Structure 1
Amino acid sequence: MAVLVVFLLFLLAEPAISQLNDLDNNSNSFLRWFCGRTPPIHPSNFIKNRNSTLAELRRQLLTDGVFYATAQDLSAGDTVYAAAQCRNYLSTDECVACFDAGVSVLFRCVAGDSAYVVVDNCFIRYEDYADFYNNPNVVQDGVGTPFSPCGNTSASQPVTTFEDVVEGILTEIRDATPKASNNYVALTREITSSNETVYAIGQCVGSNKTACETCMNSAYSYLTNCLPTTDGRFFDMACFARYSNTAFFNGSQITDVTNILKGNSTKTIVAGTIAGVALLFFILGIWLLYRRRKKAKETEQANFKGAVNYNYKDLLLATNHFGEENILGKGGFGEVFKATLDDNSIVAVKKLQAEHVRVKEEFENEVKLISHVHHRNLLRLLGWSSEGSELLLVLEYMPNGSLDRFLWGSKRGTLDWNQRYEIIFGIARGLAHLHNEFHVKIIHRDIKSSNILLTDDFKPKIADFGLARFLPEDETHVVTNYAGTLGYTAPEYALRGLLSDKVDTYSFGVVILEIISGRRSTEVKSGLSSAAYLLEQAWQSYEKNIHMKFIDETLNLNQHEQEHVMKIIEIALLCTQTPPSKRPTMSEMVLMLQEGQSLGTRQLTRPTFVQNHDRRVNIVFSKNSSASNHVYKNKMELEADDREKSTCNG
């Protein structure tokens, strides 16, 4: 505690800016800083945890030779995960000085639960989730990266020579940094004609080689566009790169990349082609074919923003030929399998049924979109395979499986109220990101407990959003084919096919009631006025002010928690109001859940219940719908299909 107090007092002083001795260009400029907009659940707890986490980072950086540190504080439910990185050319004192300067800026972030600051000599980031340790590109609040400021001074003549030297050194930085043991490379190159030296570094955050390679490719593209200016910087969440014709590190601190790049030089390829005239054309033909395929692969890979195009045979082996022992779940879109890849990492493979994706092009368009979506509460796409008629998605593996297991399945009763509330809050944030924070409005259409997966620390991730359809930004609703699960589906969508983002709001409200009650949305229960489904039970409990009879009996709540749950029940009922205009948006829902606030002047009315005496519903399609323009009866189960296995991975 004393160490933390000293640390905070030190940071209240004017921020110090690190300066390297005897170097002209080490201004240690602040390049960018960002404060998240999503407020923490309990601000006082979060700030306490944030401060202790930053203090632990500083303690680690005080050790000689430590340039990258991570720390976390999980106290009282307001988790903070943080990372800090210094450039490897710094001394320990210079590293800590840069860290202190960066933290003094981050302390200005008082409203959100995430922030980062980028300085020439260091980088600091904190979030309330741990995913960014392994995948730095997972971001929140629509953070805009990459960032690449170029210098204001152009190179002196001859410009061509300067550009050639810079492109050469950046090529080596790009190729060597992901292969270096510490993901850091520093190089210099002499320009004899002008008696100049070019200095350049590349450094990746963490140890994810794939993310490093992708980021360094971007750095090369951005920085070469800075030419012919004499300096340039590049920053993205996964890496930092810089070049300049003035020194910002000592020339003796360069990296020997000879062994790192050994075997990759084009000279080796050329030497191999001179083995004999008889083999020359054969080798040239093979090389041209390889280059063509590699270029096509790189183009395709760029379109998918880091998602990997897996070989079908590799996935076949990883799932033991899609053996039944590896089935994680079965759902409307197909089966999900556990797969162990060659590097021993475990993933989930979703095998889509052909009738759900009519053509390969449609499938690949879906993959292109969801490969851009990164959020702590959305299941991450790792890759895909579309060889022949087999359409596969490779997704994060969630060992805890789906939420329904913890509500009425084998793990029933193991979630306390604080965990349930964080799950509710996380689902809301994920849906708000899909609706408002991504460049295309994505409506999930099938929010239900079996589509909510849980991490090791019970943080929610929404699955199957990549199989949704997309709402044009200039339309408030569309009429479309029904695609959802009755019991969770809004009346206007189930009965008339009217789709808007408020359909997800309705389903979210039902999921909240499931989380609070520990019962299925389609479960019939007697005990109030008559036998009723879950939504009716919730409304009757609200009307009679007997909320406690609705709450899961496995929850042992104190008085404060009981009052909190009652407010969340009111919020859930607000989500199920009709017409849809009376429901809040998911962004509004995030704010309402933040403090578990009451509805204020809003008046709740009895929700619309879809009756199902003959277990049929009418679905109406407009003339603009892709379906035929008539009313017909379609037999649909209103309760979950008990024969389906719970979808444990999307």
Structure 2
Amino acid sequence: MMPTLAMVLILLVAMEVGVAQPTTKTTNISNTNTTPLKFFCGSNYAMSQTTFFGNLNSTFSQLRSHLSNPGVYYARAHGSENEDAVYGVAQCRNYLSSTECLACFDVAVSILQPCGLANGAHVFLDNCFLRFEDYDQFYDDPEGGSNVEVLELCGNESTSQPITAFNQAVQELLFDIGVATPRTSEFYIASTRQVVGANATIYAIAQCVENVSQTICKNCMTRAYNNLYKCLPSHEGRAINVACFMRYSEFPFFQNNQTVNFTPFLLSKGSSGKFGTTIGVSSSVGLVLLIVALFLWFRRWSKSKAVEKEFKGVRCYSYEDLKLATNNFSEEYLIGKGGFGEVFKAVVDNGIVVAVKKLRVGFRAKREFENEVNLNSNVRHRNLILQLGWCSDGAELLLVLEYMPQGSLDKFLWGEKKGTLNWKQRSDIILGIARGLVHLHEEFHFKIIHRDIKSSNILLDDDFQPKIADFGLARFHPEDQTHVSTGFAGTMGYTAPEYATRGRLSEKVDTYSFGIVALEVISGRSCSDVNYSGAQMEYLLDHAWQLYEKGMHIKMIDEAIDPNEYQEENVKKIIEIALMCTQLVSLRPTMSEIYLMLSSEPQLKQRQISRPTYNVDRRIHIVGS
């Protein structure tokens, strides 16, 4: 039944295959894309080929029969003749007709055919999902008792709409449907939202596997939302998991009359008080009842506001919970130290791994803490660390952030993982940092200047994409230390001179720091290290400028990088952009200009680059040489 070649191939290929969805813009709603978003073949092979394929075909036949019924979008079936039982589940998006659902199911079956004798596989397409296993527990618990990673797939083009308004519309829509979906009977919502100030509509759906519990659906929706916002400002994005699916696009993929009114599912249960029915009672009894009613109303109102705050992304954690999750902030959970405090790894909310930053701040900063956290919690971008929550308990101020297992960039440049980044990863990191700073400076609804961009504040995800940490925290710096205190390793080398010496703050302060970090990424050297050259020592920026003046700046590149991985002109272009960032403030480009130069210009137009500015004269002559 199964071609021999296919069974041989499955033994040779990797066990998991992810395929990015094509991002061709289209308004053809009926178009069914047959490219899988992701598919997986398990490693548990059947014992009997004949029995297994008989059970598999029986399972597929039953699933197809169920889905052929009008209005049926979810089906379960099994074939258990003798050994090698096969349990299957299929689910279509509710905006499909029965014919379209069956067409997608047939494509899914064909995609899984090369899995051969693997008794366990699944495939995600835009319009449907198919899975089979040799056990039935996955019906009720698709993730097997643990939080399986939610994978986000982002479009490769930015939106054509005004970015700030587009991002806000998408975030609000995804948040609302993520909250409402677990409360619906079918675990499914399709909805739209207008982009403010533009003649544009956002289309989005959210769907959980129909048989799971409301808790599983809610947890999966939360993780899907937290991942999918990273795609912005891409024109489309998807979040996929064996328990749920979420998608948005600025182009329609379902009809306008197929939306679901989810407003009733957003209303808090019991939120309407009965204050008006209490007042008509006679004086003494009425006063007591009035007080009771006011108390109940206030408690409900407070609870409603707390829920509302959490839904906006600002989860308020209790200090005792965070203390317990970090074993009383013990050394074994410590993963980093910095100018703002210590960072601990913790597991919260039934298995979610997070980073808990314990801040050291003064009284003045503490008064501003909650407002600042509320503002920064709305900053969502693929190159910025996500703030999940916070805690304020007396003198204790803590932030709960997404956890980055790879750690900080500096470890890969001159730390224990030195020399492990290739040129593609390094150039992507430089571009990603620039993209994150553009969002802070220009795309958010108010300007955020980081003030402390440095390699230790750049964290890397599993794909080595950079995420800027500690943005918006500069005002919470310890009051007994200046922002450019040498107690913070390397900060003096990153800080723009006009800010360090005269306190002149603008977004160009971050531009200067970005230039320094870019030179570090290219060279694999810290800006505070010195290079001996004859009778003097040169810091990294000095060294880069000296080489540039001689037309030899390609020599800046880290020797650990394979010369076959890069084109010299591209490396020289990025070095020149980095040097532009360190000029006088009036000559520095903005981060949006830098991003454009990095991403779209094959080579720089001829433009003069002036000598970098420094905080102090750092050329140190060796005495007696």
Q: Which residue is 2:109 aligned to?
A: none
Q: Which residue is 1:635 aligned to?
A: none
Amino acid at match of 1:313: E
Q: Which residue is 1:429 aligned to?
A: 435
Q: Which residue is 1:410 aligned to?
A: 416
Is residue 345 from structure 1 mapped to residue 345 from structure 2 by the alignment? no
Amino acid at match of 2:169: P
Q: CA deviation at 1:497?
A: 1.0
Q: Which residue is 2:449 aligned to?
A: 443
What is the distance in 2 between the residues matched to 1:239 and 1:302? 26
Q: Find 2:555's aligned residue among 525, 549, 553.
A: 549
Is residue 209 from structure 1 mapped to residue 218 from structure 2 by the alignment? yes
What is the distance in 2 between the residues matched to 1:13 and 1:482? 50
Gap change, CA 1:297 and 1:181, over 3 Å in 2? same
Instruction: Show the 5 A alignment for 1:165-184.
Output: 177-179=181-183, 183-184=187-188
Q: CA deviation at 1:337?
A: 0.5
Is residue 330 from structure 1 mapped to residue 337 from structure 2 by the alignment? yes
CA contact (8 A) 1:401 1:453 kept: yes
Amino acid at match of 1:583: R
Gap change, CA 1:399 and 1:443, over 3 Å in 2? same
Is residue 589 from structure 1 mapped to residue 594 from structure 2 by the alignment? yes
The CA deviation string for residues 128-163 of structure 1, in whole angstroms up to 9 with x for no partner, is xx9884999xx9843244389xxxxxxxxxxxxxxx
Is residue 55 from structure 1 mapped to residue 40 from structure 2 by the alignment? no
Instruction: Show the 5 A alignment for 1:70-469.
Output: 87-88=93-94, 90-94=96-100, 133=152, 141-142=163-164, 143-146=166-169, 177-179=181-183, 183-184=187-188, 204=206, 209=218, 292-303=298-309, 305-355=312-362, 358-468=364-474
What is the distance in 2 between the residues matched to 1:575 and 1:266? 54
The CA deviation string for residues 368-396 of structure 1, in whole angstroms up to 9 with x for no partner, is 11111000000000001112221110000
CA contact (8 A) 1:564 1:596 kept: no
What is the distance in 1 between the residues matched to 2:351 and 2:25? 46
Q: What TM-score does the superposition give when structure 2 sets the normalisation length?
A: 0.59
Structure 1's unaligned 5+ residue stretches are 1-7, 19-50, 69-84, 100-120, 124-129, 149-172, 187-201, 217-235, 241-245, 270-280, 471-480, 616-650
Amino acid at match of 1:204: A
Amino acid at match of 1:411: K
CA contact (8 A) 2:484 2:495 kept: no
What is the distance in 2 between the residues matched to 1:315 and 1:592? 43
Amino acid at match of 1:334: G
The CA deviation string for residues 29-80 of structure 1, in whole angstroms up to 9 with x for no partner, is xxxxxxxxxxxxxxxxxxxxxx9x97224999xx966979xxxxxxxxxxxx
What is the distance in 2 between the residues matched to 1:13 and 1:428? 30
Partner secondary structure for residue 346 of structure 1: strand
CA contact (8 A) 2:450 2:510 kept: yes
CA contact (8 A) 2:205 2:247 kept: no
CA contact (8 A) 2:385 2:467 kept: yes
What is the distance in 1 between the residues matched to 2:261 and 2:515? 58
Gap change, CA 1:441 and 1:67, over 3 Å in 2? farther
Partner secondary structure for residue 55 of structure 1: coil
CA contact (8 A) 1:177 1:203 kept: no
Q: Which residue is 2:605 aligned to?
A: 600
Is residue 494 from structure 1 mapped to residue 500 from structure 2 by the alignment? yes
Gap change, CA 1:290 and 1:353, over 3 Å in 2? farther
CA contact (8 A) 2:314 2:389 kept: yes
What is the distance in 2 between the residues matched to 1:501 and 1:254? 43
Q: Which residue is 2:48 aligned to?
A: none
What is the distance in 2 between the residues matched to 1:530 and 1:266? 72
Q: CA deviation at 1:614?
A: 12
What is the distance in 2 between the residues matched to 1:317 and 1:572? 44
What is the distance in 2 between the residues matched to 1:238 and 1:210? 19
The CA deviation string for residues 278-309 of structure 1, in whole angstroms up to 9 with x for no partner, is xxx99999997565334224324535622211
The CA deviation string for residues 516-574 of structure 1, in whole angstroms up to 9 with x for no partner, is 11111010111367310000000111112222432111111228533211111111101
Q: CA deviation at 1:460?
A: 0.3
What is the distance in 2 between the residues matched to 1:416 and 1:58? 26
The CA deviation string for residues 84-143 of structure 1, in whole angstroms up to 9 with x for no partner, is x974263353459999xxxxxxxxxxxxxxxxxxxxx989xxxxxx9884999xx98432
Partner secondary structure for residue 146 of structure 1: helix
Amino acid at match of 2:35: A
CA contact (8 A) 2:530 2:537 kept: yes
What is the distance in 1 between the residues matched to 2:257 and 2:463? 46
Gap change, CA 1:131 and 1:444, over 3 Å in 2? farther
What is the distance in 2 between the residues matched to 1:435 and 1:414? 31
Is residue 15 from structure 1 mapped to residue 17 from structure 2 by the alignment? no
Q: Which residue is 1:243 aligned to?
A: none
CA contact (8 A) 1:568 1:596 kept: no
What is the distance in 2 between the residues matched to 1:391 and 1:595? 42
CA contact (8 A) 1:145 1:237 kept: no
Gap change, CA 1:98 and 1:294, over 3 Å in 2? farther
Q: Which residue is 1:526 aligned to?
A: 532
Q: Which has the higher contact order (CA 8 A, sep 6+)?
A: 1
Amino acid at match of 1:146: A
RMSD (Å) for aligned C-alpha atoms? 5.1
Amino acid at match of 1:577: Q
Alignment: residue pair count: 435
Q: CA deviation at 1:595?
A: 3.8
Q: CA deviation at 1:602?
A: 1.3
What is the distance in 2 between the residues matched to 1:529 and 1:54? 66
What is the distance in 1 between the residues matched to 2:619 and 2:562? 39
What is the distance in 1 between the residues matched to 2:26 and 2:455? 49
Q: Which residue is 2:546 aligned to?
A: 540
Amino acid at match of 2:218: K
What is the distance in 2 between the residues matched to 1:576 and 1:392? 34
The CA deviation string for residues 584-632 of structure 1, in whole angstroms up to 9 with x for no partner, is 10011110001454331310111122326799xxxxxxxxxxxxxxxxx
What is the distance in 1 between the residues matched to 2:28 and 2:221? 31
Q: CA deviation at 1:203?
A: 5.8
Amino acid at match of 2:323: L
Amino acid at match of 1:177: T
Partner secondary structure for residue 388 of structure 2: strand
Q: CA deviation at 1:403?
A: 0.2
Gap change, CA 1:346 and 1:58, over 3 Å in 2? closer
Q: Which residue is 1:568 aligned to?
A: 574
Q: What TM-score does the superposition give when structure 1 sets the normalisation length?
A: 0.57
CA contact (8 A) 1:417 1:561 kept: no
